[in-house]
Structure 1
């Protein structure tokens, strides 16, 4: 890595894949933001790009099959891929979460529009929960951007484990109440969905659907309404992660704060392309079997995250 200055207010960081990418000390936050790779080692980048394409395809297919957000898949896979680029351990979860939130903005809009056209979005329910979800997102941004990587991994592993239990063992007739509670209870529900979703880098579906189902919201309304909450969660979330990580040393090329634009550009088209396939497969494959298979995936993911924290 070398540094070439073009005037006092600009710097270009030259990076080569897999090397230490921490910039020299003494640079301003602006100088750290422009990172341009001058050695494109395609033998190095091709497996990474293929892995991102596969990640997007997997996330999109699961979104169509089960109505869950792709972030629950994207975050752990990105976390496992980032060491190849020399990203410091303390930044990997932040970058994985921020990049995942960035991908959810366009994919969430597409999903929400699809559910809206089919009449699956409950506008009244959105009005009841929306403001509290936004408040939860605000709290989640503060926690997610200031917490250490270990804390984010613990949160992700814990919630992924809960979702795995629900997906694997939960029954549709499980219900806490016949309807949503009054506003204090709705505030807790909305802030839970918004806060934990943004900290984990996921959309509204992963936590929103099971939570709403517990309060007797029909599954199609729960899926459609949770899908509409996805962009509401992701857009302010990714803005917060971009601002917090702006100019952070140690980020890989094409990173805008804690959001990697290269990963975003590869994952999003793949996710959107494979979501219809997932929706089609949902009518040919046993949903209970799929839910249990995904629960196993989440269980393995949660265990890997927990091992990364407590086993090292």
Structure 2
């Protein structure tokens, strides 16, 4: 990549490999697909590599969605083997989530870079407040609604997840706990949603990124090597392998933690990653 010598490139590669291990572990621990880790780190890596600001954030998100695919599958299989996944919610949400992913991909093609950061910060902070200061009385109801509202929830999960580059765990975890579902079940079900969101989401960012490659030919030629739309293939190749290895470790850690410990750890993590982009918006 332009502007980086060999030593800096090797350091960048080592960082991405380490981040892959962390994102895989968190995918299993929180059911989030790892995207909430990957997007902030990719942002710094692509900044150092000289990727223009106008395309930096969507490139981070598209690459994150592509990487989530294998780690989400690994995490889902581990949770499913423990019988923790709520299949009823999956059956109710699969179609509206898919429609939301498609809508998010279309928006990503035309939206300004700032929009992606605003969505990331707003959702991360909202979820953190719920997790860190939760009360048993903070509920929308004893169980999920039926019909239009349930479909709307699924659509929102798919839409916002695609604009954030995550597997949907932030939103589905939040909703499930608001409707009285245990955090461990929410995490497990979110891992299944991450599979459903990441595959069409990654394809959507390939579509969304074609016009950007035409607008920034110097990026495609020098600073954005081996990219497919808004997906950096180099970033994906470096991060994926270690993520696959560590996802099952995160699953075991999640089931070993208490409900409150898991909520506190998740909430603190969201404050940290949300703050990174909040600062950049100032």
TM-score by length of 2: 0.88
Are residue 190 (structure 1) and residue 129 (structure 2) matched?
no
- The 3 A distance-change label for structure 1 pair 89 and 204 is same
Give 1 or 2 for the bigger CA radius of gyration: 1
Task: Show the 5 A alignment for 1:23-34.
Answer: none
Alignment check: 8 A CA contact 1:204 1:228 kept: no
Q: Out of 274, 277, 294, which is 2:249 matched to?
A: 277
Looking at structure 1, the residues matched to 20 and 34 of structure 2 have their Cα atoms a distance apart, in angstroms, of 8
- Quote how far apart the aligned CAs of 1:287 are: 6.1
SS in 2 for 1:177: coil
- In 1, distance between residues paired with 2:162 and 2:277? 18
How big is the shift at 1:180?
Answer: 1.2
Q: Distance in 1 between matches of 2:53 and 2:189?
A: 36
Report the Cα distance in structure 2 between the residues aligned to 1:114 and 1:223, rounded to whole angstroms: 12
Aligned equivalent of 2:144? 180
Residue 296 of structure 1: how far off its partner (Å): 3.3
Q: How does 1:1-312 map to 2 (within 5 A)?
A: 16-18=1-3, 41-171=5-135, 174-246=138-210, 247-248=213-214, 249=216, 250-251=219-220, 252-282=224-254, 288-289=260-261, 291-310=263-282
- The alignment covers a number of residue pairs equal to 274
What's the Cα RMSD here? Answer: 2.2
Given that 1:17 and 1:44 are in contact with CA atoms closer than 8 Å, whether structure 2 keeps it comes out as no
Q: Deviations over 1:41-78 (max 9, x none)?
A: 43121111111122112212222333333001111111
Equivalent residue for 1:13?
none
Task: Quickly say closer, same or farther: Cα 1:209–1:154, change in 2 above 3 A.
Answer: same
Distance (Å, rounded) in 2 between the aligned partners of 1:169 and 1:18: 45
Supply the distance in 2 between the matched residues of 1:105 and 1:176 (Cα, whole angstroms): 31
Contact 1:112 1:227 in 2 (8 A): yes
Contact 1:69 1:206 in 2 (8 A): no
Q: Using a 3 Å threshold, how does the CA distance of structure 1 residues 296 and 154 change in structure 2: closer, same or farther?
A: same
2:239 aligned counterpart, secondary structure = helix
The structure that is helix-richer by fraction is 2
Q: Give, in whole Å, the separation in 2 of the partners of 1:155 and 1:87.
A: 21
Q: Is the 8 A contact 1:61 1:278 kept in 2?
A: yes
Secondary structure of residue in 2 paired with 1:119: coil
* Contact preservation (8 Å) 1:178, 1:216: yes
What do residues 194-223 of structure 1 show as CA deviations (whole Å, max 9, x unaligned)?
A: 111111000022221221221223444333
Higher relative contact order (CA 8 A, sep 6+): 2
Instruction: Return 283-292 or 134-143, whichever deviates more.
Output: 283-292
Q: Single out whichever of 134-143 and 277-286 deviates more from structure 2.
A: 277-286
Question: How far does the alpha carbon of each residue in 1:135-190 deviate from its partner, in whole angstroms, 9 at most, with x for none?
Answer: 11122112223211111111111111112222322246642111111211101110
